[in-house]
Amino acid sequence: MTAMQKSNTPLFLGIDLGTSQTAIMSSEGGKALIRSVVGYPKDVIGVRLLKKTLVVGDEALEKRSYLNLHFPLEDGVLKETGDREIKAAKELIEYAIAQVNPDDRGRLCGIIGVPARASVTNKAQLLKIADEMLDLSMVVSEPFMVAYGLNCLTNTIIIDIGAGTIDLCAMKGTVPSQEDQITLLKAGNHVDEVLAAEIAESYPEVQMTTLLAKKIKEQHGYVGESRESVMVNLRAGGRPVTCDLSREVRVACESILPDILENVEQLITSFDPEYQEDALKNIILAGGGGQIMGLRQALLSHLQGHGEVNVIRVEDPDFAGAAGALKLATELPPEYWTQVGDVIGS
Ligand X SMILES: Nc1ncnc2c1ncn2[C@@H]1O[C@H](COP(=O)(O)OP(=O)(O)O)[C@@H](O)[C@H]1O
What 3-state class would DSSP assign to 224? Answer: coil
| 217 near ligand X, judged by CB under 6 A | yes
| 113 near ligand X, judged by CB under 6 A | no
| 221 near ligand X, judged by CB under 6 A | yes
| 21 near ligand X, judged by CB under 6 A | yes
Contacts of 26 (CB under 8 A, 6+ apart): 11, 12, 13, 14, 100, 101, 326
Q: Nearest-CA neighbor of 146 among 126, 131, 124, 162?
A: 162
Least CB distance from residue 289 to ligand X, whole Å? 4
Burial class for 199, CB neighbours closer than 10 Å (0-12, 13-18, 19+): buried
Closest-approach residue to ligand X (CB):
188
| 292 near ligand X, judged by CB under 6 A | yes
| 101 near ligand X, judged by CB under 6 A | no
Which residue number, 10 or 290, has a Cβ lying nearer to Mg ion?
290
Q: Which does 277 bind (CB under 5 to 8 A by kind): Mg ion, ligand X, none?
A: none
Q: Is the dihedral of CA 261, 267, 270, 274 positive or negative?
A: negative
- Considering CB under 6 A, how many residues would be counted as binding ligand X? 19
One residue of 41, 143, 149, 162 binding ligand X per CB under 6 A: 162
Q: Which stretch binds Mg ion (CB under 5 A): 31-39, 53-61, 156-164, 332-340?
A: 156-164
What 3-state class would DSSP assign to 239? Answer: strand
| 14 near ligand X, judged by CB under 6 A | no
User: H or E stretch including 127?
Assistant: helix 120-133
Annotate 282-294 with b (16+ C-beta within 10 A) or e (fewer).
bbbbbbbbbebbb
CA angle 195, 201, 203 (to 5 degrees): 95
Rg (CA), the chain: 21
Q: Which does 327 bind (CB under 5 to 8 A by kind): Mg ion, ligand X, none?
A: none
One residue of 214, 250, 296, 327 binding ligand X per CB under 6 A: 214
One residue of 55, 163, 184, 260 binding ligand X per CB under 6 A: 163
| 18 near Mg ion, judged by CB under 5 A | yes
Q: Nearest-CA neighbor of 123 among 169, 80, 180, 170?
A: 80
CA angle 323, 296, 307 (to 5 degrees): 110
Q: Which does 292 bind (CB under 5 to 8 A by kind): ligand X, Mg ion, none?
A: ligand X
| 324 near ligand X, judged by CB under 6 A | no
| 18 near ligand X, judged by CB under 6 A | yes
CA angle 24, 30, 35 (to 5 degrees): 35
Residues pairing with 24 in the sheet: 15, 32
Which residue number, 90 or 190, has a Cβ lying nearer to ligand X?
190
| 162 near Mg ion, judged by CB under 5 A | yes
One residue of 131, 218, 259, 277 binding ligand X per CB under 6 A: 218
Q: Nearest-CA neighbor of 99 among 167, 26, 187?
A: 26
Q: Which does 20 bind (CB under 5 to 8 A by kind): Mg ion, ligand X, none?
A: ligand X
Question: Phi and psi for 235 in degrees, rounded to 5?
Answer: -130, 135
Which residue number, 90 or 214, has a Cβ lying nearer to ligand X?
214
Least CB distance from residue 290 to ligand X, whole Å? 8
How far, in Å, CA of 149 to CA of 159, rounded?
14
| 183 near ligand X, judged by CB under 6 A | no
How far, in Å, CA of 260 to CA of 193, rounded?
18
Contact 320, 121 (CB under 8 A): no
Least CB distance from residue 14 to Mg ion, whole Å? 13
| 345 near Mg ion, judged by CB under 5 A | no
| 291 near ligand X, judged by CB under 6 A | yes
Contacts with Mg ion by CB under 5 A lie at 18, 162
Contacts with ligand X by CB under 6 A lie at 18-21, 162-164, 188-189, 214, 217-218, 221, 287-289, 291-292, 317
